Structure 1
Amino acid sequence: MTTGRPANGGSAGAGSFAGTGVLVRFVARRDRLLIAAWIAVAVAVPLFNAYSLAALLPTEATRTAFAEMSAANPVTTALLGPVHDTSIEGLVAWRSSVQSLFITGLAGLLFAIRHTRAEEDAGRGELVAARAVGRRATVGAVLVVAAAVNLAVAALLAVALPLGFGFPFGGSLLFGLTAAVGGTGFAACGLLAAQLCQSAALARGAAVGVLAVGLVPGVVVPGEWIGLLPAGWSRLARAYGAERWWAPLVPLAFTVVLALVVYALAARRDLGAGLLPDRAGGTGPVRGRLAGTSALVWRLYGGQTVAWTVALGTVAVGVGWVSASFELPTVTGQTLLEIFTYVLCMAVGCLTAAGALRPYAEERRGRVSPLLATPTGRSRWLIGHVALALAGPVAMLLAVGLGTGAGDALATGGLGAVLARTGTVLLFAPAAWVVAGLTIAAYGLRPRAAVPVAWVTVVASGICVALWEAGTIGETAFLFTPFGYVHPMVSAGWAVPAAFAVVAAGLVAVGGGAFARRDLFA
């Protein structure tokens, strides 16, 4: 961080925003497909909830019973808050609140980092800054596009919910605005992380961590204060109930404060600099000798894998203790421990996709060609990354299994279930390997397709979970999805995970063979 005069003759005034309009058009055109997907998912989730809840809870009696059961579940109440209205639209708003904010928030912060810090890491940010562009133009353009996209989501929800399901227009608009302004706030959070962190990977980790912490504080934060945090913004609004139209002003104030801080940092920060250095193998001397590509991969990404494992294990202990302490049945008859363990396994699937994309990131950064100019072979280099991509999920699942078992043992005083819980969780490893295998295969065959293939696999698997729970797809079809056979309501035996392991091995072999023959990025 420096305090010198801004480059390009920029100032603290309007000149520092020069070129913002051009960058807005450029960003929107460049990511038009991603923006369309962002809008589609953010609109589809509440619509799906409206359809499924209307089918599952057709009468007032069933909705009242559902609300009472939800209120008796302390974990659900902590995450989603109390049910203020038992009408179908009130339940949809209650069910969709955290989901919608998570979607708009995650998309917004990743979008913000992609067009700021990631561009600096790739060297393109310097090329843009060399033109007649103000120091604050890029962050201003990203914030404008993010706000416009989220407002489009709010407008579509305000139209689709009344037309498709007969919901009141006012409540639909309030629900959409709350999610839209909150999502824009997290886009500003992503911009702040991009200014503070020295790499895009570190910025993404920090911003996603803030998002996660902001959405699950109900377990420890008193109810009267929860409205000041992201998890409580929708609770303040009370869409379709006692509507509070001033509630979106809370996330709006959050957005404005973050934006002002971002603008101040953008006007003074050196290009590529950051207060938080990225220690992922990029700084400090290497003590001893790197024994090979596996040691190099561990040097670069081992710390990240360990951090993910420790974080999941810590959360798992809390989940095990809380779930066993209350011992409340759910609508499906499954225990809270089984349900939340399954959610943690799905999180491992997401982290597996991120880990399997590391070879692609290394090649895009231009680090592979110089390394392969040495006696290091292509297969040897890729094997190091594949080994960590496959071993990482096993370590994380082991942490989840031992953590949930240990938490359960702390609450109940019995140690007998620890090994059984760990064994059940480890059955998810072949599913995670399939996610990694699809990503590696796409990387070897069509490297530019690796990122969409990885995340489409994860998102599509999550959608299939929702469709199966709603009765839209059958169990046989559900078993063919990575998140299917480990669902707590499915008894698949050992044959299915064994088949997934074989499929994963075949996909990795395909990706490795294709990578050995294709050209590298220029």
Structure 2
Amino acid sequence: MSATGTAHAAAHRSGGGGASGGPRHLAGTGALLRLALRRDRVMLPVWVLVLGTLVVSGNGSIAALYPTAADRAVLAASMTANSSLRALYGPVFGDSVGALVAWRFGVFAAVLAAVMSLIVVVRHTREEEETGRQEMLSAAVVGRRAPLTAALLTALVANTALALIITAGLAGRGAAGALALGLAVGLTGMVFATAAAVAAQLTESARLAKGLTAAVLGAAFTLRAAGDAGDAAGGSLLTWLSPVGWAENLRAFAGDRWWVLLLPVAAVLLQGLAAYELASRRDVGMSFLPARPGPAEGRLATAGALAWRLQRGGLAGWTAGFLVAGAVFGGMVEGAADLVGQNAQAREIFQRMGGAQALSDAFLSALLGLFGMVASLYAVGSVLRLHGEETSQRAEPLLAAPVGRLRWAAGHLVIAFAGSVLLLLAAGTGMYLSYGRDPGGVLAAAAVQLPAVWLLGAVAVLLHGAVPKAAVAAWAVAGLAVAVGWIGPALDLPQAVLNLSPFGHLPKLPGAAMEWPPVLVLTAGAALLVAAGLAGLRRRDLVTA
């Protein structure tokens, strides 16, 4: 049965296809929720536990670095006075340990919760339709709204667990403030979960749905950064236009403005209603923004050309984003270095992230390390496009032609690994344009992130090739590496923990001496993992669902 016919049949069994309807529209939601939680039984606990633990660990770290009220007051005043650091972390609204934890980790925890949520919702909505699994499920007694409801409930379970971990872990600093921070992070995740639900109705591919939601998240972070850079009180209109800014302006441990929670709650409700309305007006597998048909006569002579056609739009968007972000953050280097130089504890944090060289170099190195971590997410997503092509059964007819599996995979892998080079060079170029010093050193510092990026991309190749059912776990591996590398230095975690991230082994350029052994070891490790993954791909059967 076709997708359209199946959808109409399912709608008929569940009480009609309109936006209105009774509980029959939700028939099967519980079973689909259990299925989603079972499928994500590894990925979601890793995301939630790692992110929650890292935020909670900031409690002890901040208390150890700033043991007295006077130390904390000096830090709060100095950080709030600098527009560059306000753009990066937001203004400091209080000088208690809890308020400093919320300042240092609140924005980034909210962003990572949003990333987790958009991945989960798209995975259990548009990706299910793209692979054909939803059509089979709809042939059973499954209500029209059940798949979307189950996906949103899965995101709600994850964000609730994350909020509870943060609340319980920081309750010793004040139960109200801990609850405020937990709700700020969890509700930000739900805002982008419902945004992803809307995107999944509008687009025809899971990749595009993730890309659109990620672009909204990037715009929200940029609005918040621009607003905070211009207003130390957090009252800028730009900040209030951003869901990430709402999390910040809840002011956990610094007054706890509970009324701000009405904004994310309203956004969740409105976006959720929009997603349900859109879902009721389309057939399974269809979308409101269908992909444009190609030319009547094919122009793609090779599998690599097809891979380029499929991924060029995403690569262009990522490259433009890295170039702009590099220019924005490059302009912060001098101001941040001048300020941090007046604070011994803050200087230690940046030197753990960027090395013991001059502060401007350490800050630049730390920023480029962050770009490397984000680039690793691009690499993983680009590699997993292979998995999407295979599970959606688009790879099978291609491989039925005289196209070998290695040739098919090579096109996507070249874009993934070479594309990450382009992204980091774009970030380095943007930084040089705004920083204006030593272009060779800045570009070298950007390029030295590549072995760690490639290693995480290679993990995705290995999982897809050898254990395709666990391919999605590559996101959890990348998320763990990013979380440890991003937040770990500020928590003063032991070196053994920091070494869990490949970024912890890289030389701290610019300023520090180049160390070739870790670069070569990481590169060789990436090559071996890619080879093992491709060997597994050659031997196994194709995944069809």
* Common topology (TM > 0.5): yes
TM-score w.r.t. structure 2 length?
0.85
- Say yes or no: does 1:169 pair with 2:171: no
Q: Aligned equivalents of 1:75 and 1:432: distance in 2? A: 27
8 Å CA contact retained: 1:78, 1:218: yes
- 1:369-388 equivalences under 5 Å are 369-388=396-415
The answer to whether the aligner puts 1:450 opposite 2:471 as a matched pair is: yes
Q: Distance in 2 between matches of 1:158 and 1:44?
A: 11
- What secondary structure sits across from 2:226 in the alignment? coil
Q: Is the CA contact 1:352–1:432 (under 8 Å) kept in the aligned structure 2?
A: yes
Q: Residues 44-443 of structure 1: matches in 2 within 5 Å? A: 44-162=53-171, 166-221=172-227, 223-225=235-237, 226-278=239-291, 283-285=293-295, 289-324=299-334, 328-330=338-340, 331-332=346-347, 334-335=359-360, 336-409=363-436, 417-443=438-464
Shift of residue 286 of structure 1? 7.3
Structure 1 residues 72 and 304, CA, compared in 2 at 3 Å: closer, same or farther? same
| 1:376-406 deviation per Cα after TM superposition (whole angstroms, max 9, x unaligned) | 2222222222222221111112211222112
- After TM superposition, give the deviation of residue 121 of structure 1 in Å: 0.7
> How far off its partner does 1:151 sit?
2.8
Residue identity opposite 1:18 in structure 2? L
Native 8 Å contact 2:166 2:178 kept in 1: yes
Distance in 1 separating the partners of 2:150 and 2:539: 41
CA 1:302/1:145 → structure 2, altered by over 3 Å: closer, same or farther?
A: closer
SS in 1 for 2:331: helix
Q: 1:476 to 1:125 in 2, by over 3 A?
A: closer
Q: Structure 1 residue aligned with 2:40, among 31, 45, 52?
A: 31
Query: How many residues in Structure 1 have an aligned counterpart in Structure 2?
Result: 508
> 2-side partners of 1:457 and 1:73: how far apart?
32
Residue 308 to residue 149, structure 1, CA distance change in 2 (3 Å): closer
Q: What is the CA distance between 1:477 and its match in structure 2?
A: 7.3
Q: Which residue of 2 aligns with 1:412?
A: none
The structural deviation recorded for 1:201 is 0.7
Cα distance change of structure 1 residues 302 and 82 upon mapping to structure 2, 3 Å threshold: closer
Q: Distance in 2 between matches of 1:137 and 1:111?
A: 15
Alpha carbon RMSD of aligned pairs, Å?
A: 2.9
| CA displacement, residues 470-516 of structure 1 (integer Å, 9 cap, x when unaligned) | 44333997498245314458644233323322332222222223322
Q: Distance in 1 between matches of 2:370 and 2:297?
A: 39
The CA distance in 2 between the partners of 1:96 and 1:243, in whole Å, is: 16
Kept in 2, the 8 Å contact 1:435–1:482? The answer is no
SS for the counterpart of 2:258 is coil
**TM-score normalised by the chain length of structure 1:** 0.88
Q: Check whether the contact 1:461–1:481 (CA below 8 A) recurs between aligned residues.
A: no
Moved more, 317-326 or 69-78: 317-326
User: How many percent of aligned residue pairs carry the same amino acid?
Assistant: 33
Correspondence 1:484 to 2:505 = yes
Out of 528, 532, 538, the position equivalent to 1:510 is 532
SS of residue in 2 equivalent to 1:246: helix
Amino acid at match of 1:493: E
1:132 partner SS: coil
Conserved 8 A contact 1:402-1:419: no
Q: Aligned-pair distance for 1:204?
A: 0.5
Kindly tell me: are residues 184 and 49 of structure 1, through their superposed partners in 2, closer, same or farther at Cα, counting changes over 3 Å? same
Q: Are the counterparts in 1 of residues 203 and 289 from structure 2 also a CA contact under 8 Å?
A: yes
Q: Give the conservation status (yes or no) of the 8 Å contact 2:484–2:498.
A: no
Cα distance between partner residues in 1 of 2:529 and 2:36:
34
**Comparing 18-27 and 257-266, the one that deviates more:** 18-27
User: Closer, same or farther in 2 for the Cα pair 1:129/1:98, shift >3 Å?
Assistant: same
Query: Which amino acid counterpart does residue 264 of structure 2 have in structure 1?
Result: P
Aligned counterparts of 1:232 and 1:270: Cα–Cα separation in 2: 36
- CA deviations on 1:415-452 (whole Å, 9 max, x unpaired) are x6223311221122222222222322333322233331
Q: Does 1:14 align with 2:22?
A: yes
Give the CA deviation at 1:361.
Answer: 2.2
C-alpha spacing 1:472/1:23, structure 2 compared with 1 (3 Å): closer
Which deviates more from structure 2 when the two are superposed, residues 470-479 or residues 10-19? Answer: 470-479
Which amino acid in 2 is paired with 1:391?
A
Q: Distance in 2 between matches of 1:121 and 1:479?
A: 34
Question: How has the CA–CA distance of structure 1 residues 385 and 183 changed in structure 2, closer, same or farther, with 3 Å as cutoff?
Answer: closer
Contact 1:202–1:278, Cα closer than 8 Å, also in 2: no
Q: How far, CA to CA, are the matches of 1:80 and 1:373 in structure 2?
A: 52
Of 22-31 and 375-384, deviating more is 22-31
1:259, 1:477 → 2: CA distance? 38
* Residues 224-251 of structure 1: per-residue CA shift (max 9 Å, x gap): 4323521222333222222222221111
Q: Partner of 1:216: helix, strand, or coil?
A: helix
3-state SS of 1:190 partner: helix
Structure 2: gaps (5+ residues):
341-345, 348-357
Report the CA distance shift for 1:157/1:472 in structure 2 as closer, same or farther (over 3 A): closer
Q: Distance in 1 between matches of 2:408 and 2:287?
A: 30
Partners of 2:257 and 2:504 in 1: CA distance: 39
Letter in 1 for 2:359: Q
Task: Give the structure 1 partner of residue 352 of structure 2.
Answer: none
C-alpha distance in 2 between matches for 1:224 and 1:400? 27
Cα gap change, 1:440/1:249 in structure 2, threshold over 3 Å: closer, same or farther?
same
Q: Which amino acid aligns with 2:526?
A: A
Amino acid at match of 1:104: A
The residue aligned with 2:521 is 499
Deviation of 1:189 after TM superposition, in Å, equals 0.9
* Mapped contact 1:435–1:458 kept (Cα < 8 A): no
Q: In structure 1, how many angstroms separate the alpha carbons of the residues matched to 2:481 and 2:431?
A: 27
Match of 1:463 among 467, 476, 484: 484
1:464 shift after superposition: 4.5
Aligned residue for 2:353?
Answer: none
